[in-house]
Structure 1
Amino acid sequence: MTAGRTLVVGSGFVGTGIARRLAADGKEVTLASRTPVTPPDGAGWTPLDAIDAGACGRLLDRLRPDRVVLVHGPSDVTWCEEHPDRAAAAHTGIAAHFAAGAGGARLVLISTDNVFDGTRADNTEDTPVRPANAYGRAKAAAERALLEAADALVLRVSLVYGHEPADAGKWLNFFAACAHRLVRGEPVTAPADQWTTPVLVDDVAEVTAALLDCRDPLPPVLHLGGPDRVGRAAWASVIADALGARPGLVVPTARAGTRYASRPENTCLVSTLLGRLPATRGIRVRGVQEGARLLARDFGERDLGERDLGERTYGEQAFGERAFGEAV
């Protein structure tokens, strides 16, 4: 399954990153979304109101994709908490539309660590799903709708980060939001009691591309998290260091009373399966220090230069001493 047409439903940060990787690999890829976007070089874009079942069916009939990647929203956790019924209807309905109409296409749903309640720091594929917020409940329902109706794959991904311009016209991923403030010399207030296993958007795209091309049978659920378990305040300090920001700009706080109040204490994923799959076991998922060093260049600050960050692959040591932020 190395050729053919791929449809990516959702043109946000993650969907665009996946489309960019597929296009760079020479694949025919089309982004579909309600909001017009400029697609990455080599990719296309088409309008789609994915809540409309008829519109989804007509698009599938026209494009006849061999692979469909669902990266649809809404993904703002705070918005979902304020509009739980609308969030659930959108996530579940869209998954059901494509499960019913995709035919023999390979279906991949990009899901979330928020399907867990945060009481564990090591959520594996076998951990029982127990959402603690509206976003997690909506995604869990979408997973069920897809897996019950189609031969599909759910790829749960931890907090995704990467470069986004300050004028992107939307809320930014955590790394980009911190970096833009820090390069302007502005303070960043971040919770010290909300933990995640961040994963670089380019690594998400690489894993997704490999799974789409995989000829071997795949399990229904896979996890993708970065190798470091890190508190947000400690992660912000790593970002500040990589950017050469003025000391003291990162202000640790408690998540209660902030926009992170509805996030579980731990939004962390551990993979027990990707390292066993021939398609993904050689992929090296980068930690937060290396990610910050690579992205510092995109934010116009000093290049830290090369440092020995270790070569860790899923097949070797994907999850080691995840200790960043333990003292914050």
Structure 2
Amino acid sequence: MSARHISRRKHMSDLRSSPLVLRPGTAAPAVPGRILILGSGYLAGHIAARLTRLGAETVLSSRRAPVLPESRGVRWKQVDVTSGPQVAALMDAVEPDAVVAVHGPSDITWCESHPEEAYATHHGGARNIAAALDGRPVLLVSTDNVFSGEDESYGESAQTFPVNAYGRAKLAAERELLDTSSALVLRVSLVYGWEDRGPRPNFLTSVVRSLMRKEQLRIPDDHWNTPVHVEDVAAWATTLMSSGRTGTLHLGGPRRIGRVDWARHIAEQLGVDPMLIVPTPRIGTAYACRPRNACLHSEVAAQLPELQHHRPADVLETTHALIS
């Protein structure tokens, strides 16, 4: 990685989040007419499906065509976000009213092993998106990994200090888009839901599959999250993108829970022996690069009128509903 990128990362580590504000003169409709989504994975598919149900003209874009059922029937265009000319051409072709950025690899362990590629896609993609926005509102879905994990949970005013490659790449993407003054960064905690078609299922789906095969699972006993259901993320994203707000907002579930406790709850709901869950230290596992506390809460969401009907679900209640 170049010295310029390393220097910029160090500079960013002591930045606090941009405060949430309302764009001057904003008079957006309930759902903008045409939405371009950069990305076509699990979360992008759910956002696209919700927007489509609400009557928006939605376009997904990515290097490879989407394969998840949520994306079925949604218009798709090919793009490599690391190519400035491709992103500019896509923006000209689609002429969106608003943009959602859910691009780049989300496998934290993979990013740690491929930091240059992760940074190039997340930050480089955001830079290209910013250059092509031409004043359009953009919502970037970001992560709890922009924090060190030393505190139990992080609100919007907390100091950022990423400790892994994924967090550094996402924080760089945040700064790039926030500098346009038309961006809302929605940081989300661990996203879960039933995911039976994706190449890398989320924690809930992976645990269910392994337990149904009676496989022993080694799960870290020193890693906590505030998990948020994928439909809650989609609801917040589609609501906020037409709110005219810019800055940073956090979405975490109402329950802080350790991975072991969550996995044991899943086992109990399935009627499977919870002793299949073997508590293991994070160090030496795929979770080693993750912050100890990947937990978020919001200091401002409760005061936002547009979110009053979108309270995040409790992970244990939703888990029961998903797998029972």
Normalising by the smaller structure, the TM-score range is 0.7 to 0.9
Greater percentage in helix = 2
Q: Tell me, what secondary structure is at the counterpart of 1:227?
A: coil
Equivalent residues in 2 for 1:1-328, closer than 5 Å: 1=29, 2-38=31-67, 40-165=71-196, 168=198, 170-214=199-243, 217-296=244-323, 303=324
Deviates more, 1:108-117 or 1:280-289: 280-289
Q: Tell me whether 192-201 or 36-45 shows the greater mean CA deviation.
A: 36-45
Alignment CA distance shift 1:88-1:192 (3 Å): same
Partner amino acid for 2:79? L
Alpha-carbon offset, residue 117 of structure 1: 0.4
Query: How many residues matched?
Result: 293
TM-score between both structures, scaled by the size of structure 1: 0.86
Q: Tell me if structure 1 keeps the 8 A contact 2:145–2:163.
A: yes
The root-mean-square deviation of aligned C-alpha atoms, in Å, is: 1.4
Which aligned runs of 4 or more in structure 1 are off by greater than 3 angstroms? Answer: none
- Does the 8 A contact of 2:250 with 2:296 survive in 1? yes
Range moving further from structure 2, 154-163 or 38-47:
38-47
The runs of 5 or more residues in structure 2 that have no matched partner are 1-28
SS at match of 1:75: coil
* CA deviation map 1:82-110 (0-9, x unaligned): 12122112111111111111123210000
Deviation of residue 219 (structure 1)? 4.2
Give me the whole-angstrom Cα distance separating, in 1, the residues matched to 2:209 and 2:59. 30
d(CA) in 2 for partners of 1:190 and 1:19? 32
Task: State the one-letter code of the partner of 2:52.
Answer: A
Structure possessing the higher relative contact order (Cα contacts under 8 Å, 6 or more residues apart): 2
> TM-score, normalising length from structure 2?
0.87
Deviations 1:39-90 (A, max 9, x none): 6345211111111110100010010111111001121111111121221121
Q: Which amino acid aligns with 2:220?
A: P
Unaligned ranges ≥5, structure 1:
297-302, 304-328
Residues 100 and 150 in structure 1, CA contact (< 8 A), matched pair in contact too: no
**Alignment check: 8 A CA contact 2:156 2:249 kept:** yes
Distance 2:125 2:71 in 1: 24
Give identity over the alignment, percent: 45
Q: CA deviation at 1:3?
A: 3.2
**What SS does the aligned partner of 1:222 have?**
strand
Aligned-partner Cα distance in 2 for 1:70–1:243 = 36
CA distance in 1, matches of 2:246, 2:139: 12
The CA distance in 1 between the partners of 2:140 and 2:296, in whole Å, is 16
How far 1:126 moved relative to its partner?
Answer: 0.2
Q: Distance in 1 between matches of 2:58 and 2:80?
A: 18
Partner SS, residue 181 of structure 1: helix
Distance 2:51 2:267 in 1: 32
Conserved 8 A contact 2:264-2:274: no
Distance in 2, Cα, partners of 1:143 & 1:125 = 13
Supply the distance in 2 between the matched residues of 1:122 and 1:90 (Cα, whole angstroms): 28
